[in-house]
Amino acid sequence: MSVLLEVCVDSAEGLEAAIDGGAQRIELCSALDLGGLTPSKGLMALAAKAPVPVYAMIRPRAGDFVFDAASRDVMLADIDAARESGLAGVVLGASLPDGRLDFDLLAVLAKRADGMGWTLHRAFDLAPDPSSALEQAVELGFERILTSGQAAKATDGKAVLRRLVAQAEGRISIMAGSGITPVNVADVVIETGVREVHASCRHLVGCADEALVRFGFAARQEYRTDADIVHAMLGALKDLA
Protein backbone atom coordinates (compact mmCIF):
# COMPACT_ATOMS: atom_id res chain seq x y z
CA MET A 1 0.00 0.00 0.00
CA SER A 2 1.54 3.29 -1.12
CA VAL A 3 0.36 6.47 0.61
CA LEU A 4 1.67 9.93 -0.29
CA LEU A 5 2.50 12.45 2.43
CA GLU A 6 1.87 16.14 1.75
CA VAL A 7 3.23 18.60 4.32
CA CYS A 8 1.89 22.13 4.64
CA VAL A 9 4.42 24.84 5.49
CA ASP A 10 4.34 28.61 5.84
CA SER A 11 7.98 29.67 5.97
CA ALA A 12 11.37 29.08 4.39
CA GLU A 13 12.44 27.23 7.53
CA GLY A 14 9.35 25.04 7.40
CA LEU A 15 9.96 24.28 3.74
CA GLU A 16 13.51 23.16 4.48
CA ALA A 17 12.40 20.98 7.39
CA ALA A 18 9.65 19.32 5.34
CA ILE A 19 12.07 18.50 2.55
CA ASP A 20 14.74 17.26 4.96
CA GLY A 21 12.15 14.99 6.57
CA GLY A 22 11.19 13.46 3.24
CA ALA A 23 7.86 15.14 2.37
CA GLN A 24 6.62 13.92 -0.99
CA ARG A 25 4.62 17.05 -1.81
CA ILE A 26 4.41 20.50 -0.24
CA GLU A 27 1.41 22.75 0.27
CA LEU A 28 2.89 26.24 0.48
CA CYS A 29 1.03 28.81 2.58
CA SER A 30 1.36 31.76 4.84
CA ALA A 31 -0.38 31.96 8.22
CA LEU A 32 -0.95 28.27 8.92
CA ASP A 33 -2.54 29.19 12.24
CA LEU A 34 -5.40 30.71 10.21
CA GLY A 35 -5.79 27.62 8.07
CA GLY A 36 -3.33 28.84 5.44
CA LEU A 37 -3.30 31.94 3.23
CA THR A 38 -1.57 32.73 -0.05
CA PRO A 39 2.23 32.72 0.31
CA SER A 40 4.41 35.59 -0.84
CA LYS A 41 6.00 35.65 -4.28
CA GLY A 42 9.38 35.36 -2.63
CA LEU A 43 8.42 32.18 -0.82
CA MET A 44 6.92 30.79 -4.03
CA ALA A 45 10.17 31.47 -5.88
CA LEU A 46 12.18 29.71 -3.19
CA ALA A 47 9.82 26.74 -3.08
CA ALA A 48 10.02 26.30 -6.86
CA LYS A 49 13.57 25.03 -6.31
CA ALA A 50 12.33 22.17 -4.12
CA PRO A 51 12.95 18.58 -5.33
CA VAL A 52 9.27 17.69 -4.84
CA PRO A 53 6.03 19.17 -6.26
CA VAL A 54 4.85 22.33 -4.52
CA TYR A 55 1.25 23.58 -4.58
CA ALA A 56 0.51 27.15 -3.48
CA MET A 57 -2.53 27.92 -1.38
CA ILE A 58 -4.69 30.53 -3.12
CA ARG A 59 -6.69 32.16 -0.33
CA PRO A 60 -6.55 35.96 -0.10
CA ARG A 61 -7.84 36.39 3.45
CA ALA A 62 -8.86 34.58 6.61
CA GLY A 63 -12.46 33.75 7.38
CA ASP A 64 -15.07 32.24 5.13
CA PHE A 65 -14.64 31.18 1.51
CA VAL A 66 -17.31 33.46 0.02
CA PHE A 67 -15.36 35.76 -2.27
CA ASP A 68 -16.41 38.94 -4.07
CA ALA A 69 -15.14 40.24 -7.42
CA ALA A 70 -12.17 42.03 -5.86
CA SER A 71 -11.01 38.88 -4.07
CA ARG A 72 -11.54 36.90 -7.29
CA ASP A 73 -9.15 39.24 -9.08
CA VAL A 74 -6.58 38.87 -6.32
CA MET A 75 -6.85 35.07 -6.57
CA LEU A 76 -6.41 35.14 -10.33
CA ALA A 77 -3.27 37.26 -9.96
CA ASP A 78 -1.96 34.90 -7.27
CA ILE A 79 -2.50 31.92 -9.59
CA ASP A 80 -0.46 33.78 -12.20
CA ALA A 81 2.28 34.34 -9.62
CA ALA A 82 2.36 30.64 -8.75
CA ARG A 83 2.66 29.73 -12.41
CA GLU A 84 5.37 32.33 -13.06
CA SER A 85 7.31 31.03 -10.06
CA GLY A 86 7.31 27.55 -11.57
CA LEU A 87 5.20 25.80 -8.96
CA ALA A 88 3.48 22.53 -9.82
CA GLY A 89 -0.02 23.50 -8.77
CA VAL A 90 -2.43 25.52 -6.71
CA VAL A 91 -4.88 24.85 -3.90
CA LEU A 92 -8.30 26.38 -4.51
CA GLY A 93 -11.65 26.67 -2.80
CA ALA A 94 -14.71 28.93 -2.86
CA SER A 95 -18.17 28.71 -1.35
CA LEU A 96 -21.61 30.15 -1.83
CA PRO A 97 -23.24 31.74 1.26
CA ASP A 98 -25.08 28.48 2.02
CA GLY A 99 -21.83 26.49 2.04
CA ARG A 100 -22.19 24.84 -1.36
CA LEU A 101 -19.18 25.07 -3.63
CA ASP A 102 -19.12 28.18 -5.78
CA PHE A 103 -18.93 26.20 -8.99
CA ASP A 104 -18.82 29.24 -11.29
CA LEU A 105 -15.96 30.93 -9.45
CA LEU A 106 -14.03 27.67 -9.14
CA ALA A 107 -14.42 27.17 -12.89
CA VAL A 108 -12.88 30.61 -13.49
CA LEU A 109 -10.00 29.91 -11.12
CA ALA A 110 -9.39 26.44 -12.55
CA LYS A 111 -9.34 27.81 -16.09
CA ARG A 112 -6.68 30.32 -15.02
CA ALA A 113 -4.65 27.45 -13.56
CA ASP A 114 -4.90 25.36 -16.73
CA GLY A 115 -1.79 23.24 -17.16
CA MET A 116 -1.07 23.18 -13.41
CA GLY A 117 -2.36 20.78 -10.79
CA TRP A 118 -5.40 21.70 -8.68
CA THR A 119 -6.33 20.63 -5.17
CA LEU A 120 -9.74 21.51 -3.70
CA HIS A 121 -9.18 22.64 -0.13
CA ARG A 122 -11.33 22.26 2.97
CA ALA A 123 -14.01 24.68 1.81
CA PHE A 124 -15.32 21.25 0.80
CA ASP A 125 -15.89 20.43 4.47
CA LEU A 126 -18.51 23.19 4.74
CA ALA A 127 -20.62 21.82 1.88
CA PRO A 128 -24.06 20.64 3.08
CA ASP A 129 -23.98 17.70 0.64
CA PRO A 130 -20.46 16.26 0.34
CA SER A 131 -21.58 13.75 -2.27
CA SER A 132 -22.75 16.49 -4.64
CA ALA A 133 -19.65 18.57 -3.88
CA LEU A 134 -17.44 15.62 -4.84
CA GLU A 135 -19.21 15.30 -8.19
CA GLN A 136 -18.71 19.01 -8.80
CA ALA A 137 -15.01 18.68 -8.01
CA VAL A 138 -14.73 15.84 -10.53
CA GLU A 139 -16.57 17.88 -13.18
CA LEU A 140 -14.25 20.84 -12.58
CA GLY A 141 -11.19 18.64 -13.08
CA PHE A 142 -9.62 18.74 -9.62
CA GLU A 143 -6.94 16.14 -8.93
CA ARG A 144 -7.85 15.74 -5.28
CA ILE A 145 -9.97 16.95 -2.40
CA LEU A 146 -8.36 17.82 0.91
CA THR A 147 -10.92 16.95 3.56
CA SER A 148 -11.27 15.96 7.20
CA GLY A 149 -14.50 14.14 6.42
CA GLN A 150 -16.44 17.26 7.47
CA ALA A 151 -15.27 16.96 11.07
CA ALA A 152 -12.87 19.18 12.98
CA LYS A 153 -10.29 16.38 12.84
CA ALA A 154 -9.91 13.59 10.29
CA THR A 155 -9.95 11.02 13.07
CA ASP A 156 -13.56 12.03 13.77
CA GLY A 157 -14.52 12.08 10.09
CA LYS A 158 -13.40 8.59 9.11
CA ALA A 159 -16.88 7.35 8.19
CA VAL A 160 -17.41 10.22 5.76
CA LEU A 161 -13.90 9.85 4.37
CA ARG A 162 -14.55 6.17 3.72
CA ARG A 163 -17.77 6.99 1.85
CA LEU A 164 -16.01 9.66 -0.21
CA VAL A 165 -13.24 7.24 -1.22
CA ALA A 166 -15.85 4.72 -2.33
CA GLN A 167 -17.80 7.34 -4.29
CA ALA A 168 -14.68 8.74 -5.95
CA GLU A 169 -13.91 5.35 -7.53
CA GLY A 170 -10.50 6.55 -8.61
CA ARG A 171 -11.86 9.57 -10.50
CA ILE A 172 -10.41 11.95 -7.92
CA SER A 173 -8.13 11.41 -4.94
CA ILE A 174 -9.42 11.93 -1.41
CA MET A 175 -6.64 13.34 0.79
CA ALA A 176 -7.24 13.17 4.54
CA GLY A 177 -6.10 16.16 6.57
CA SER A 178 -6.50 17.92 9.92
CA GLY A 179 -5.05 16.45 13.07
CA ILE A 180 -3.03 13.77 11.28
CA THR A 181 -0.02 12.62 13.33
CA PRO A 182 2.45 9.71 13.27
CA VAL A 183 0.36 8.09 16.00
CA ASN A 184 -2.97 8.09 14.15
CA VAL A 185 -2.06 8.18 10.46
CA ALA A 186 -2.04 4.40 9.99
CA ASP A 187 -5.46 4.07 11.57
CA VAL A 188 -6.90 6.80 9.36
CA VAL A 189 -5.50 5.20 6.21
CA ILE A 190 -6.62 1.67 7.11
CA GLU A 191 -10.13 2.69 8.11
CA THR A 192 -10.81 5.05 5.19
CA GLY A 193 -8.80 3.78 2.23
CA VAL A 194 -7.24 7.17 1.44
CA ARG A 195 -3.97 7.10 -0.48
CA GLU A 196 -2.86 10.64 0.34
CA VAL A 197 -2.55 12.35 3.72
CA HIS A 198 -1.88 15.97 4.61
CA ALA A 199 -0.27 17.24 7.81
CA SER A 200 1.61 20.21 9.21
CA CYS A 201 4.11 18.02 11.11
CA ARG A 202 4.74 20.87 13.54
CA HIS A 203 5.73 20.91 17.18
CA LEU A 204 5.30 23.53 19.86
CA VAL A 205 8.53 25.44 20.35
CA GLY A 206 7.31 27.36 23.39
CA CYS A 207 6.11 30.85 24.01
CA ALA A 208 7.40 33.77 22.02
CA ASP A 209 9.35 36.57 23.64
CA GLU A 210 6.96 38.54 25.83
CA ALA A 211 7.91 41.82 24.17
CA LEU A 212 7.07 40.42 20.73
CA VAL A 213 3.72 39.24 22.05
CA ARG A 214 2.99 42.56 23.76
CA PHE A 215 3.65 44.53 20.57
CA GLY A 216 1.58 42.10 18.49
CA PHE A 217 4.55 40.82 16.50
CA ALA A 218 4.12 37.17 17.53
CA ALA A 219 1.57 34.76 18.92
CA ARG A 220 1.98 33.60 22.50
CA GLN A 221 2.67 30.05 21.33
CA GLU A 222 4.78 29.19 18.30
CA TYR A 223 4.84 26.04 16.20
CA ARG A 224 7.48 24.93 13.71
CA THR A 225 7.65 22.23 11.06
CA ASP A 226 9.79 19.39 12.38
CA ALA A 227 11.80 17.15 10.04
CA ASP A 228 11.73 14.37 12.63
CA ILE A 229 7.92 14.39 12.69
CA VAL A 230 7.82 14.27 8.89
CA HIS A 231 10.22 11.32 9.00
CA ALA A 232 8.14 9.59 11.68
CA MET A 233 5.00 10.07 9.61
CA LEU A 234 6.69 8.46 6.61
CA GLY A 235 7.84 5.61 8.82
CA ALA A 236 4.29 4.95 9.97
CA LEU A 237 3.11 4.97 6.36
CA LYS A 238 5.95 2.69 5.26
CA ASP A 239 4.90 0.14 7.85
CA LEU A 240 1.54 -0.10 6.05
CA ALA A 241 3.28 -1.30 2.93
The model carries a pTM of: 0.94
* pLDDT on residue 208: 63
Report domain extents, the chain: 4-240
pLDDT at 217 over 70: no
Using H for helix, E for strand and C for coil, what is the string for 131-199? HHHHHHHHHHCCCEEEECCCCCCHHHCHHHHHHHHHHHCCCCEEEEECCCCCCCHHHHHHHHCCCEEEE
- Tens digits of per-residue pLDDT, 118-136? 999 999 999 999 999 999 9
DSSP secondary structure, 84-149, as one string? HHT-SEEEE--B-TTSSB-HHHHHHHHHHTTTSEEEE-GGGGG-S-HHHHHHHHHHHT-SEEEE-S
pLDDT at 240 over 90: no
Question: What is the C-alpha separation between 63 and 68, in angstroms, rounded?
Answer: 13
What is the CATH superfamily name and number for domain 4-240?
Copper homeostasis (CutC) domain (3.20.20.380)
Mean pLDDT of 143-164: 98
Question: What is the C-alpha separation between 70 and 130, in angstroms, rounded?
Answer: 28
Question: What is the rounded average pLDDT for all residues in the chain?
Answer: 95
* pLDDT on residue 32: 93
